[in-house]
Amino acid sequence: MSHSFPNAEDPAHDWQMSKDYLQDCTRHILQNRMFTDCQFKVQAKSSPMQFFEAHRLILTIASPVFEKMFYGIMAEKNQPIVVEDIEPEVFKALLEYIYTGDINLESSDYYYELYYAAKKYMLPFLQKKCIIVIQENINTTNACKGYEFAELFEESSLMEYCLEVISRRTENVLSEANLKDIKLNTIITILDQDCLNVRSEMTLFNAVTICAKNNNKDKDTKPLNERGKHQSLLREALQKIRFLIMTPKEFAEGPALSDLLTKFEKFDILMNISSPASTVAMPSGFSTSTTSRKMYNDCWGRGYYNRY
């Protein structure tokens, strides 16, 4: 890598004189690749490879990870430094934040990955900024995805916010298009909520069915332990469905036609729906609740639809 130095005889040599703040200077040397002494080769699976030049000292000041990378016992000797788990556009945004304090990303979806990059390089202030943007952009389309992200990185406030959106707009959130790649664990968490805005428990049963189908793709190629875990989670989800608040017609036209329940379970459930005084017991572990879930406004007050 060649080092770039300004020409002392160039009239633009005194470029620092036109800058009001130190960050204006660091922005200038980043954009013009001046005095650079390290290089990153960034290539995620979905994007073409890009190279980025930077300054060891500036990165070290910003991050203890970069400090160990450049000046620690196991200092990185190779040039360029290879980065394979971050998209080039996101890595560029990471550098720009370190040098300027600004974040420039075209899509709010990139903030999930920028958060990951900030966590990887131990930049807590950037993590906080990413969480703010992610939360501001949570809606019915991505609430489940946002919840899973927050759970993975133990961001409790974002988890709570996503569950709030899910509880308020449950019917929209649990549409088939929004459940692509959503885990059964997330559906189980939703089923644990007593306050959900659903017209019928069938909405929740359909969500379980969709996720079971999505999670069951390529099941024959999955290890036995993963298949076993999937079945265990599916059973747990089904046991949280409040079948007893369904009408006989709803059950007959929905769950009774599904292959998620055995014929014995279908019979036992239908007997209990049709006749509350039935001596037939519900299948072991299944919900015996006959209470409909509360509408969200009954739990937390009225007027919330104005916000979403």
Q: What is the pLDDT of residues 235-274, one digit of tens each?
A: 999 999 999 999 999 999 999 999 999 999 999 999 999 9
∠ CA 75-89-54 to the nearest 5 degrees?
Answer: 35
Q: What is the pLDDT of residues 58-107, one digit of tens each?
A: 999 999 999 999 998 877 777 899 999 999 999 999 999 999 999 989 89
Query: Whole-prediction pTM value?
Result: 0.85
**265 alpha carbon, distance to own chain's centre:** 35
What is the C-alpha to C-alpha distance for residues 162 and 164, in angstroms, rounded to an integer? Answer: 5
What pLDDT sits at residue 119? 98
Going through 7-142 in order, the beta strands assigned E by DSSP cover 38-42, 50-54, 81-83
Query: So where are the chain's domains?
Result: 1-137, 139-242+292-308
Tell me the two tokens of residue 292: 């409909």
∠ CA 184-187-190 to the nearest 5 degrees?
Answer: 155
Domain 1-137 fold: Potassium Channel Kv1.1; Chain A (3.30.710)
50-56 long-range contacts (CB < 8 A, ≥24 apart) are 50/88, 50/91, 50/92, 51/80, 52/88, 52/91, 52/92, 52/95, 53/1, 54/30, 54/95, 55/29, 55/30
